[in-house]
Structure 1
Amino acid sequence: MPQTIERIEAVPARVPTIRPHHLAFVTVEAMDVVVVRVTAGGVTGLGEAATIGGPRWGEESPEGIAAAVNHYLAEALLGQDAANLNAVEDRIARALRGNSFAKNAVSTAVHDAVARARGERLVELLGGAVVDSIPLAWTLASGDTDRDIEEGERALAERRHRHFKIKIGAGDPAQDLRHIARLAAAFEGRATLRVDINQAWDESTASQFAPALAEAGVLLFEQPLPAWNVDGMARLATRLRATVMADEGVATPQDVLRHAQAAACGAVALKPGKHGGVAGTRAVAAIARAAGLGLYGGTMLEGTIGTLGALHLYATLGHFAWGCELFGPLLLRDSLATTRPAPRDFALHLPDGPGIGTELDADKLAHYRTDRARTVLGHGAP
């Protein structure tokens, strides 16, 4: 039975984080997100886009995402049958060039609306879960070694995380090495360490410091070089006794094919926002798997809506060699959804309930939205 798309709306919002989150290119103290609502056949589905530090990570800004959704993507989809998901994905892809974060938010919202109309979870609409949970990493990015150790110890004690990523590249590599050596000593035998350089190193710096970091205990190096330097990634991968992972360098199926052909990485960080939605994420994952590359379930620090949408999709893709980092809701001080995913036994588990498994908190969205004056929440709310 057709499920006609009747309404599409994107609302930008800004939600504060529980602590400053230091990356190579920006320090995040609040996350900019865009919540997308797609109503089809009277049922509303949810999607979310997030931009770390606004457009500092990529080309899209919250304002641009909202405009792309409210105008170009809405124009392409209104009146169409949401249940014809292949046609919807094709229309999303052809509606405008680039804008992959906007496309993914709409793709997720349409899939969510169809799953809710059928009374099933999103993972079931997508063909069923291969895994019911994915190991969940946590990023230690406070910028202070003692605080990072304390934070990691709490995560281990509460059985939330035993894989830690450290954001480096913004400062002195020698200081980064000392910082990570202390973390490695503190967590030896109890947790694994990975580093994310966010493209901040040149090849010379990587050649000098990556081997020492691997010797200190780092198992995974995420995007150490700029996205364009695929050949440099390949040279580093051949010299390093650890796994090199591509992130910013792999957005399209063609990107992952080029990395595989050049032997430029041993793993790929998936992010539905990079890949433009469900179909794009599956295409990138399929090529990576065919090339023997490990998968990592990445995040753009989305809130609950985007996190659960990604979790359902990742659960259909099978084993993730490096787990996932869908911890965005844990980093945010508040939630735009009525529930918030909580890890247990060091993993994030699929929720129950139709669609993505949560509902929009309209009052919180009204409070945190940035396109008009914010509302005042009731007594006792954050």
Structure 2
Amino acid sequence: MRITKIDLYRAAMPMKTPFKVAIGTTTISQSIFARIHTDAGHIGVGEGNIFTPVVGETADSVWAIGPAAARALVGTDPLDIEARARQMRKLFPHNTTLRSALEIALWDILGKAANLPLFAVLGGRRRPVVTDNTVGLESPAVMAERALAFKARGFVAIKVKLGTDLATDLERMRLIREAVGPGFALRVDANQGWDRTTARAALRALAAYGPELVEQPVVRADIDGLAELRRGSTVPLMADESLFDEHDALRLVAAGACDYFNIKLAKAAGIWTALKINAIGEAAHIPCMVGCMTDAGIAISAAVHLASARENIVFADLDGADMLAVDPVAGGFGYGAGGELLPATGPGLGVELDAAYLGGLPHQAVE
């Protein structure tokens, strides 16, 4: 089997409401969609969702370099995903979002060629994945109101964005805990917003509100700081922006820097590296989360299949498609009761892109 053509589409998807975190605000979600054609008639679809403050790519940069990446793949074997992933890492080492779109499409082709859903291709079973939903940065009162609304919708866990000044962050957490009540799962994400001193004080004070974990309290490069904070914290710590690939995972393990890993396909450049990160985590007794940016349904579906297939992935933050005013993707999964997600049982990802929607997008074709 050979790749004969790759279509790239540039999508700008409005959010229901602006989504603000410590390192940036998203009002329009930017994705690149890929459709990879083969001489066997199989077409794989993929998506990479671009959040510049984390990955460093922009929609313009991904759109500019996309045809070069596509040209490198045309004529190659789409089923040899290891070779394609290594090829893309060598040629485009810092373009993880673009690579994730192309690689996800290759996994979709593999599933369709095998006539198996992706979770089965990965050697797993179809098990439910329970996602939290996220309250972005707003005033404490607004955040508490939104947390309560997520609880009313049936979600059983909420991610709370913090990472600004300590007094306001603590007030946010106090009001949210009062709103949702004791025992409700709250996960804090500072998105690198604190320095070591502030993070140390925050972890001590936040413990009173019983968070399950605190994610990325300090800047991504400060592995030593993360390890120091972990040694003094009663609250478990999760690495996110400090973790892109298996090499980062090894560094975090060696430093004793975190209790959990957050794997995102846009950071890991797809499933191939995500599997490596999870394996290192499992060997080091570090459970994993699979997270997202503000992804539409293709990337979320790929993440749901991955999480379903790996039991060491015990947390999910896959609410991106729920934040979009309109998701142009059908199938793959659905937001069920309690935030439960189940992967599709059709071949590959089990998703379809709306043809009329694609017809209105900027398009590049490489043959």
Structure-1 residue corresponding to 2:131: 136
Letter in 1 for 2:297: T
CA contact (8 A) 1:50 1:62 kept: no
Aligned to 1:280: 273
| One-letter amino acid of the structure 2 residue matched with residue 105 of structure 1 | A
TM-superposition CA deviations, 1:301-335 (whole Å, max 9, x none): 210011001111222221433x1011111000001
1:128-185: CA deviation from partner (whole Å, max 9, x where unpaired):
32x51112111111514344333333333332x111111112x321011011111112
Q: CA RMSD in A?
A: 1.9
Q: Which residue in 2 is equivalent to 1:334?
A: 326
Partner deviation per Cα, 1:179-235 (whole Å, 9 max, x = no partner): 111111222235211111111111011112221012222231111101111111011
Report the counterpart of residue 46 of structure 1 in structure 2: 45
Map of 1:167 onto structure 2? 161
Q: CA deviation at 1:365?
A: 2.9
Count residues in correspondence.
362
Which of 78, 86, 93 is residue 97 of structure 1 equivalent to? 93
- Aligned partners of 2:228 and 2:234: how far apart in 1? 12
State the partner residue of 2:14. 16
Greater relative CO, 1 or 2 (CA 8 Å, sep 6+) = 2
**Is the Cα–Cα contact under 8 Å of residues 335 and 364 in structure 1 kept in the other structure?**
no
2:55–2:97: 8 Å Cα contact kept in structure 1?
Answer: no
TM-score (norm 1): 0.89
Separation in structure 2 between the aligned mates of residue 68 and residue 293 of structure 1, nearest angstrom? 35
In structure 2, what is the Cα distance between the partners aligned to 1:351 and 1:154?
28
- Structure 1 segments, 4+ long, off by >6 Å, are none
AA aligned to 1:317 is R
Percent of pairs identical after alignment? 27
Gaps of 5+ in 2: none
Gaps of 5+ in 1: 373-382
Does the CA contact (< 8 Å) of 2:151 and 2:180 recur in 1? Answer: no
Structure 1 residues 1-382: aligned runs within 5 Å? 3-40=1-38, 41-52=40-51, 55-71=52-68, 73-129=69-125, 132-141=127-136, 143-159=138-154, 161-169=155-163, 171-321=164-314, 323-339=315-331, 341-367=334-360, 369=361
Q: Which moved more, 1:83-92 or 1:13-22?
A: 83-92
Q: What residue number does 1:377 align with?
A: none
Mapped to 1, the partners of 2:304 and 2:8 lie a distance apart of 21
Distance 1:370 1:215, change over 3 A: farther
Amino acid aligned to 2:62? I
The C-alpha deviation readout for 1:330-358, integer Å capped at 9, x for no partner, is: 00000121346223233211123222111
**Matched residue of 1:345: which SS?**
helix
- In the alignment, the residues of structure 2 paired with residue 360 and residue 9 of structure 1 have an alpha-carbon distance, to the nearest angstrom, of 13
Is the partner of 1:338 in helix, strand or coil?
A: strand
